[in-house]
């Protein structure tokens, strides 16, 4: 791969991303190594995907073991890993039934279609309204960008799907005013990861649950980013006494292998009759074998309890850096989904911070122009956390002195 470098991106790839200059070649735990064998501590975790770090031996074993057995059979045949994973997901959540796909956007597409179809078949075709929230993110299909609350992502792609209402996030009164018997579903994230790591208030989630019940609407919880241990609970809803009707999960589910799932009850699932929805690769044996291994590793007290211990360590380090540089006012989010909120005089500099961090050997993410995001592996070693924070401090000191 001698002639492959960052310039190849501009030459051969569509310009819808702006990757940084380094190209990682290998990963080991929470460390990445680039083409020049320079090493980085990974606080980005593939955007909340690599929940067990890179090249976890048990995931590599699950993948290679399945790779020598069976890769793909299509949906005219069932396969063992998919059935075992579906069984496990129903045992560890509220759900009775599972639909597999390959990405968070597809899992939400299925959830939204399911909600429309359930309302259509149960109450009639007038009940088609979907309520969503500004700042929300649910994927990049045409339906999910239309439901998402960032108009930049849907503008220029019209005509868009209809009967979608956007309301302010965490505003119970606005929801009380808007929801009606015409509403078929309300979709919400427990934490809005893509628009600045903004937590949904507990009372807001409780109000959605209650108002959905009184209006015969379904509550769809998008746990694509918060699920699979990220918050210190297997799913974020499990911290509250609020059960959704439909839950979507993706990102960390395969520990880095693409897989997603839409979970629901038997009562709702029954409207997806044979032929009503599908996916060629969804539920393929390779993805499901890896996800089964990942879920078994993550759904243990030691991993889940370790999440908040690691959060405390990281947040203490971020506070130390903020005290030295004056860059940030505090943190948001839960568990290892951390939003580091910049002080007003640092507003707009999250991307610059990401680059400075990378130059000092640590990878972080941007959640919005004013919020840096960290979503490291749930099992990142304490030593890597400390070293990564040290490097971040160096990068931030350089930025602070330069500004």
Ligand X SMILES: *Cc1c(COP(=O)(O)O)cnc(C)c1O
Q: Is 341 helix (H, G, I), strand (E, B) or coil?
A: strand
- Provide φ and ψ at 337, rounded to 5°: -115, 100
Pseudo-torsion of CA 155, 372, 225, 110, nearest 10°? 0
C-alpha span between 104 and 110 (Å, rounded): 10
Q: Which is nearer to ligand X, 53 or 139 (CB)?
A: 139
Kindly report the three-state secondary structure assignment for every residue of 233-251. Answer: CCCHHHHCCCCCCEEEECH
- Which residues, 178 to 197, sit near ligand X by CB under 6 A? 189, 193-194
- Which residues, 210 to 249, sit near ligand X by CB under 6 A? 222, 224-225
User: Which residues are designated catalytic?
Assistant: 137, 222, 251
- Which residues, 374 to 403, sit near ligand X by CB under 6 A? none
List Cα–Cα distances, 195 to 33, 144, 199, 204, 224, in angstroms.
29, 15, 11, 18, 14
Smallest separation, CB 137 to ligand X (Å):
5
Which one of 22-30, 134-142, 205-213, 361-369 is the stretch in contact with ligand X (CB under 6 A)? 134-142
Q: Which is nearer to ligand X, 167 or 224 (CB)?
A: 224
Residue 137 binds ligand X (CB under 6 A): yes
Q: Which is nearer to ligand X, 103 or 325 (CB)?
A: 103
Interface residue with ligand X among 89, 250, 252, 365 (CB under 6 A) is 250
Residue 104 binds ligand X (CB under 6 A): yes
C-alpha span between 87 and 242 (Å, rounded): 22
Smallest separation, CB 208 to ligand X (Å):
16
Smallest separation, CB 277 to ligand X (Å):
17
C-alpha span between 153 and 174 (Å, rounded): 24
Closest CA to 127 of 247, 212, 207: 212
Q: Where are the beta strands (DSSP E) in 284-361?
A: 328-334, 337-342
Residue nearest to ligand X (CB): 104
Count Cα neighbours of 288 within 13 Å in the Cβ-side half-sphere.
Answer: 26
Smallest separation, CB 251 to ligand X (Å):
6
Q: Which is nearer to ligand X, 104 or 256 (CB)?
A: 104
Q: Which is nearer to ligand X, 107 or 322 (CB)?
A: 107
Q: Residues in the site for ligand X, rule: CB under 6 A?
A: 103-105, 108, 137-139, 189, 193-194, 222, 224-225, 250-251
């Amino acid at each position: 791969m001698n002639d492959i470098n960052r310039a190849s991106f501009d030459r051969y790839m569509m310009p819808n991303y702006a990757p940084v200059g380094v190209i990682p070649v290998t990963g080991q735990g929470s460390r990445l190594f680039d083409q020049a064998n320079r090493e980085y501590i990974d606080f980005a975790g593939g955007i909340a995907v690599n929940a067990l770090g890179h090249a976890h031996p048990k995931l590599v074993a699950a993948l290679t073991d399945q790779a020598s057995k069976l890769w793909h059979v299509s949906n005219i045949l069932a396969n063992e890993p998919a059935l075992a994973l579906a069984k496990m997901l129903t045992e560890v959540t509220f759900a009775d039934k599972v639909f597999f796909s390959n990405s968070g956007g597809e899992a939400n597409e299925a959830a939204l279609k399911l909600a429309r179809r359930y309302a259509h078949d149960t109450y009639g075709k007038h009940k088609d309204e979907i309520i969503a929230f500004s700042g929300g993110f649910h994927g990049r299909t045409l339906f999910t960008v239309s439901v998402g609350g960032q108009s930049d992502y849907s503008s220029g792609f019209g005509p868009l799907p209809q009967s979608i209402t956007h309301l302010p996030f965490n505003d119970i009164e606005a929801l009380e005013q808007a929801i009606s018997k015409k509403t078929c579903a309300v979709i919400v994230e427990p934490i809005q990861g893509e628009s600045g790591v903004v937590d949904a208030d507990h009372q807001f989630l409780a109000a959605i649950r209650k108002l959905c019940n009184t209006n015969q609407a379904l509550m769809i919880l998008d746990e694509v980013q918060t699920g699979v241990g990220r918050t210190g609970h297997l799913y974020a809803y499990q911290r509250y006494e609020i059960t959704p009707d439909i839950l979507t999960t993706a990102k960390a589910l395969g520990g880095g292998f693409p897989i997603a799932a839409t979970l629901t009850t038997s009562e709702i699932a029954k409207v997806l009759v044979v032929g009503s929805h599908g996916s060629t690769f969804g539920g393929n044996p390779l993805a499901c074998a890896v996800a089964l291994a990942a879920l078994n590793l993550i759904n243990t007290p030691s991993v889940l309890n370790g999440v908040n211990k690691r959060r405390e360590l990281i947040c203490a380090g971020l506070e130390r850096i903020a005290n030295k540089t004056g860059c940030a006012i505090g943190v948001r989010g839960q568990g290892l989904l951390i939003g580091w909120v910049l002080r007003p005089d640092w507003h707009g500099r999250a991307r610059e911070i990401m680059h400075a961090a990378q130059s000092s050997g640590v990878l972080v993410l941007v959640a919005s122009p004013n919020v840096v995001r960290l979503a490291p592996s749930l099992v990142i070693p304490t030593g890597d956390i400390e070293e990564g924070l040290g490097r971040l401090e160096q990068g931030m000191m350089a930025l602070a002195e330069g500004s």
